[in-house]
Chains A and B, each alone.
Chain A
Amino acid sequence: MLLSPYPTLGERIRIGALWIWCGLMLIFLIAPIFVPIPLSFSSGSFFTFPLPGLSLRWYETVLGAPRWRAAIGNSLLIGLGTTILATILGTLTAIGLSDPKFPARRLVVPILISPLIVPVVVTAVGTYLFYARIGLASTYTGVILAHTVLASPFVVVTVGASLTGFDRNLMRATAILGAKPLTGFFRVMLPLILPGVLSGAAFAFVTSFDEVVVAQFLASAEQRTLPLEMFTGLREQLSPAITAAATMMMGLSIILLMVANLLARQSRRRAGSASD
């Protein structure tokens, strides 16, 4: 489509230059994220190519050393708590917002997405000062609540998208047939919007799993998460263990976000066909 049916020489040169420029661009985009991967399998202690040899010793460090293990455990625990809380609250919110009779939408929506716009340091500092006063700083609850704030907009948006094509008459039909609202929700609505909800849950988990700034202010040594451990490591002494941790984080995030996007697309398609 780039070339016209009868391309001139000038056109061919332009398109060729575009391809070369964009090829370099793609290398610039992709290459850096793959650099840590081979290094994480290095048997040496430095970031040098060619690798002195292959070994899994840095993965053993990350999965075996108490510090790293505790950090992974904390990340999973906090991520799970955030996912559960953000998914429940976000799904309820999306259902409420999708109601055509919802009042003051223009006022509420900006509030709901504001955590994405406010610079994360401002959020972190504000939350830290406030949570310290009410005894939530340096607690798991505190970190989970703060991560839920950051993660919930993603759930609201993904579930909201899957609800755009949901036929509200179905809920009316369940009510007429005698189902209580909760029964109607679990038997009819939830199965239909499930891809959207699961997609939102995956987004929520990754948001928490990748978050470092809020955790840096709110978490004490006890709640240190994997990104926090990495951040400290990068500041203090660089070790290939960090590339192993980075590879693991990247793998998990990319897999989850791919699944999330596939589910979101599926639920949008479902919504699209329902509204046709």
Chain B
Amino acid sequence: MSLAAAAPMVIAKGRSEGLRPLLLVAPLLLLLLLSFGLPIAALLSRAFYEPMIANALPRTSAALSSSSGAGVPDDQVFRALAADLAAAQAAERVYEFAKSFNVRLPGARSQMLRAARAAAQDSSINKEGLIRAAPLLGDERCWAAIRAGVNRFTTFFLLNAFDLRWSDQGSIVSAPIEQAVFVRVFGRTFLIAALVTLATLALAFPLAYLISNLRPAMAGAVLVLVLLPFWTSILVRTAAWTVILQKFGLLNDALLWLGLAQDRLELMYSRAGLIIAMTHIQLPFTLLPIYSVMRSMQPSQLRAAQSLGARPLTAFWKVYLPQVTPGVLAGGLLTFILCLGYYITPALIGGASDQLISNFIANYVNVELNWEMAAALSFVLLTSTIGLYALMTHYLGLDLFKMG
């Protein structure tokens, strides 16, 4: 066999050896792509792509694209709109359309339904007739919303997630104060995540320090006390806290008995209660990365520093702390990231003004049925999470799985 003939065989063999492990991974990879990646991609795409209005108004869309200019259009476009609305009314799709239009222009729902009824009754209705039935149609803002809506690709929802919108003049402006909720929700989510992170760091650092300096048998025993709550599901721990935080619950009993409170405090549905419970749940997540770094520290280093004349605190500050900082940052960042996605604990313990971004997403899906807004909020939450996670793995090399 000549060398030239052998070469393809070698290549083919190499490829099949590379292919076999890929075949073993393929089933799970396929499942993940189909039942995890694809659904999330489909969800996020809804934040940018919303064809409902364009689908309901094909004639209006065509008429608008042939007529130029902004503002309230001429009679021809109104006749196209009347035809579209009449068709939607006949097919009973008009409620869907009016609802999704209302998302873009609050208060427009009933007006659109009225216009559709008028158009269905009188097929020769003109501009004046439609405006008489639904005065909103004589408003420039309404037509700006229709023009934006017939374009299937939209920035409306994503801007809305930041309390921003397009003005009639085509610039980005902040939303009216009574509609501006999301910046506050994101701010609250980040604030609570930051508070919980700081609390867990303050509690976890000394404990990790203590465990890492104990004799192995003792350290193992204390570590079990950290791991027991870690192994208990978040729901069960949240349930435990709802029992403790009740008005006539244990914590209030203890506070009264110790004389730390005069009256029973409202801890359930309060931010204080939420932060206490979240701190308790997150503590092991912060502690374990810090502990794993501290465990690898040599105690002789501190002694060396002290024998060279450093006072204990100086040695700690100059020698110990810089070396455990990666673990501290990793633990803190991990807790911060996990807190951004909290859902169960705020839903059960937080009050109405303590709901985090995840609760808003769930609410837009379950109650408001506004999936575009849920998609836009999911997009912001997911990008913040992945961004922070990338930061964490890139700079700190923390692996989610090297804990415990």
Contacts and interface: CB of A to CB of B under 8 A. Distances in A.
Interface of A: 1-2, 4, 10-11, 14, 18-19, 21-22, 25-26, 28-30, 32-33, 35-36, 39, 46-49, 89-90, 92-93, 95-97, 99, 101-103, 108, 111-131, 145-146, 148-149, 152, 156-157, 206, 209-210, 212-213, 217, 227, 230-231, 234-235, 238, 242-243, 246, 249-250, 253-254, 257-258, 261
Contact of A115 (B29, B32, B225): B32
Nearest to A210: B233
Contacts of A212: 235, 344
B228 A131 contact: no
Contacts, number: 253
Given A246-B240, A249-B233, 12 more contacts: A14-B312, A29-B280, A90-B28, A99-B20, A111-B32, A114-B32, A119-B385, A121-B381, A126-B42, A126-B44, A126-B378, A146-B35
A95 B24 contact: yes
Interface stretch (B85-93, B130-138, B357-365): B357-365
A108 B237 contact: no
Nearest to A145: B35
B27 A242 contact: no
B242 interface: yes
B382 A108 contact: no
B343 A126 contact: no
Contacts of A11: 312
Given A33-B232, A35-B244, A157-B401, A1 B31 contact: no
18 contacts: A33-B240, A92-B25, A92-B28, A114-B37, A121-B378, A122-B40, A123-B36, A126-B378, A129-B39, A129-B43, A129-B365, A130-B42, A213-B343, A238-B242, A253-B231, A253-B232, A253-B233, A253-B236
A26 B17 CA distance: 52
Interface stretch (B94-102, B148-156, B160-168, B205-213): B205-213
Contacts of B214: 1-2
Nearest to B374: A125
A97 B21 contact: yes
B253 A49 contact: yes
B218 to A, nearest CB: 10
A112 B28 CA distance: 8
A111 B250 contact: no
A58 to B, nearest CB: 13
B303 interface: yes
Closest 5 CB pairs of A and B: A119-B341, A96-B24, A210-B233, A130-B39, A99-B21
A32 B385 contact: no
Contacts of B18: 101-103
Contacts of B371: 129
Contacts of B43: 122, 125-126, 129-130
Please report whether the interface of chain A is mostly helix, strand, loop or mixed according to DSSP.
helix
Given A22-B210, A128-B365, A129-B42, A32 B236 contact: no
Nearest to A136: B35
Interface of B: 17-18, 20-25, 27-29, 31-33, 35-40, 42-44, 46, 203, 206-207, 209-210, 213-215, 222, 225-229, 231-244, 246, 248-250, 253, 280, 283-284, 299, 303, 306, 312, 337, 340-341, 343-344, 347-348, 358, 361-362, 365, 371, 374, 378, 381-382, 385-386, 389, 400-401, 404
A232 B23 CA distance: 42
Contacts of A128: 365
Contacts of A249: 233, 235-236
A254 to B, nearest CB: 5
Contacts of B229: 29-30, 32-33
Contacts of A234: 238-239, 242, 348
Contacts of B365: 125, 128-129, 217
A161 to B, nearest CB: 8
A131 B232 CA distance: 29
Contacts of A46: 248
